[in-house]
Amino acid sequence: MKKILICAPTYNEVGNIEIFCREIFKINKKFDLLIIDDNSNDGTLEIIEKLKLKFKNLNLVKRKKKLGIGSAYRLGINYAVKKKYDAFMTLDADLSHDPKEIPLLIKKLSSNDFVTGSRYIKGGKSDYVGYRNIISRFANKLCRILLNMPFYEFTTSFRIYNNKCIKVLNNKSLSSDGYSSLIEFFFYIYKNGLKCTEVPIYFKVRYKGVSKIPKLQVFYSSLKLIELFIKNLITLKKNL
């Protein structure tokens, strides 16, 4: 089995973090799990410290303030490079992504460079309703059109990258600190000619707590999408 690093950023996940960690190690005790915490003040850190005594493959990086999911993933990628992991997997610690689906993504990686979970292909499912459902579906369709990429899911963090992807991302000057990083990562991987695919996942409403996605993230993601669209146009013109 390849050496895989599973990474999950956290901020105030006291109601979810223990279940999340236990579910990960229930699948495979040999998984390496890296939690990157943005200075939680609700007891999340204390729970992780206790779990570290039981699970030796659980590692924790404490950050001094809330720095965003994108910067957390860049830190995780850098950690994966330094520790020479073969693959890097990310998912949410609030249990909106089901850890039981991890083996499905790992299996698909054997014939691909990058695998993303997808709510919007056949077999996929999302518990989003109303406004959030509309925005999510519209955003992903817009990414597909503007970036000229044949996929249906660009905004979920449930994904796995092989060593080729890790190297590409580690060498890029990535700038997104928020959720727009998920679009940015996928864009650079695909445009570098790496083999990408989607697998159906069931996206659930977080188990406990409330969403901590800042409302401005929609605006920031729109700006990033425009930036990537322009970059793609420039590349296409150069290749004509």
Averaged pLDDT in 10-residue chunks for the chain of 240 residues: 92 96 96 97 97 97 94 96 96 96 97 98 95 92 96 97 95 83 96 97 80 64 86 73
Q: Residue 212 has what pLDDT?
A: 54
Cα 126 from Cα 119, distance rounded (Å): 6
Residues 6+ apart with CB under 8 A from 84: 3
Q: Which domain holds residue 87?
A: 4-239
* Beta-bridge partners for 125: 202
Q: Residue 211 has what pLDDT?
A: 61
Q: Alpha helices, DSSP H only, in the chain?
A: 17-27, 44-54, 69-82, 102-109, 130-146, 163-171, 180-191, 217-239
Q: Residue 209 has what pLDDT?
A: 61
Cα 5 from Cα 53, distance rounded (Å): 19
Q: Residue 234 has what pLDDT?
A: 81
Instruction: For residue 2, give the nearest of 133, 106, 108, 127 by alpha carbon.
Output: 106
Name the pairing type of β-strands 202-203 and 125-126.
parallel
Domain count, the chain: 1
Widest CA span in the chain: 58
Q: Residue 217 has what pLDDT?
A: 67
CATH number assigned to the domain comprising residue 227 = 3.90.550.10
